[in-house]
Amino acid sequence: MISLTSNPIDIASAYKYLQADGAGAIDLFLGVVRDNTQARPVDRLEYEAYDRMALSEMKKIADEACRRWNILKFVVIHRTGLLRIGEMAVLIGVSTPHRADAFDATRYIIDTIKQTVPIWKKEVFTDGEIRVNATP
Amino acid sequence: MNASINVLLFGITRDITGQTAIQHPLAPHARVSDLLIQLHGQYPRLADIRALLVAVNGEYAEPDTKLKSTDEVALIPPVSGG
């Protein structure tokens, strides 16, 4: 299951979806909004996505993970819009027969999402300055 | 013939152009690299972006990818999801 949503991500429904009789491990990675960037206080983040391509790139990553590891079920959900401190920006979940594959696949999916999926974060600091990290 | 192409803008390219999409004239046989050169001329601050990629119809495109007026083109500045 892959989705983009402007609503809060529900862990319980993701966990339910991941359950499988052959699963011995279910890993969840939750990316959440931290209150600072390099010690500078953050007020909120704003996420924007190129929806159709973000979904297709997330699917490519999940497909590649399924080729590399024995994945029974996976969930990839990314938030868009305005997020406050502590809110969940991304949820990655996989279920596998054994734990090593679950750890490795979850890490691969989140690391690759950060590299290739067209989603952009705008950081709004408490002093009002806005930063888009795209310049040298 | 005045063909044009729709270019979607995201992230910092929205801030630089002040728009979410632009309609840009398309020369015959134009490639992604031609479009980028023209857009850099029009919006010099695009050159400040570390690595500006282009997507055509929802897929990352190479500089020599040929463009048609019906293509959906998007400027993809460095991504920062997750």
Look up the CATH number of the domain holding residue A127: 3.90.1170.40
Distance CA A92, CA A73 (A): 11
**Do A50 and B74 count as a contact with CB atoms less than 8 A apart?**
yes
> What's the one-letter identity of residue A121?
K
What is the Cβ-side half-sphere exposure of residue B11, based on CA atoms within 13 angstroms?
A: 28
Q: Which of A53, A89, A114 sits opposite B58 (nearest CB)?
A: A53
Answer whether residue B1 shows pLDDT above 70.
no
Give the residue numbers spanning the domain of A116: 2-132
pLDDT in tens, A17-37: 999 999 999 999 999 999 999
Six token digits for residue B55: 């997507």
Answer whether residue B38 shows pLDDT above 90.
yes
Is the domain B4-76 a CATH 3.40.50.200 member?
Answer: no
Model confidence, pTM: 0.94
CA angle B69, B71, B74 (to 5 degrees): 115
- pLDDT at residue number A121: 95
Instruction: Considering only residues A57 and A134, tell me which one the structure prediction assigns the higher pLDDT.
Output: A57
Name the residue in chain A with its Cα closest to that of B77: A134
Length of chain A: 136
For chain B, the structural domain boundaries read 4-76
What is the Cβ-side half-sphere exposure of residue A95, based on CA atoms within 13 angstroms?
A: 15
* Of A99-113, A120-134, B19-33, minimum mean pLDDT range: A120-134
**Do B49 and A116 count as a contact with CB atoms less than 8 A apart?**
no
Distance CA A48, CA A36 (A): 20
Name the residue in chain B with its Cα closest to that of A47: B81
- pLDDT at residue number A131: 85
Q: Which of B10, B55, B59 sits opposite A120 (nearest CB)?
A: B10
Answer whether residue A50 shows pLDDT above 70.
yes
Residue A30, judged by CB atoms within 10 A of its CB (0-12, 13-18, 19+), counts as middle
pLDDT in tens, B68-77: 999 999 999 9
Answer whether residue A65 shows pLDDT above 80.
yes
Domain count, chain A: 1
If you count residue pairs, one on A and one on B, with CB atoms under 8 Å apart, how many are there? 77
> What's the one-letter identity of residue A122?
K
Closest-CA distance of chain B to residue A73, Å: 20
Instruction: Considering only residues A133 and B19, tell me which one the structure prediction assigns the higher pLDDT.
Output: B19
Identify from A9, A29, A50, A130 which residue to disrupt to test chain B contact, counting B C-beta atoms within 10 A and taking the largest count. Answer: A50
| Pairing of β A73-79 and β A36-37 | unpaired
Lookup result for tokens 């959900």: A77
Distance CA A66, CA A98 (A): 14
Share of chain B above pLDDT 90, in %: 90
CA angle A134, A136, B6 (to 5 degrees): 40
Kindly tell me the sign of the dihedral angle through the C-alpha atoms of B23, B24, B30, B34: negative
CA angle A32, A38, A42 (to 5 degrees): 55
Six token digits for residue A89: 């920006």
Chain A contacts to B (CB-CB under 8 A): 31, 47-50, 52-54, 56, 78, 89-90, 110, 113-121, 132-136
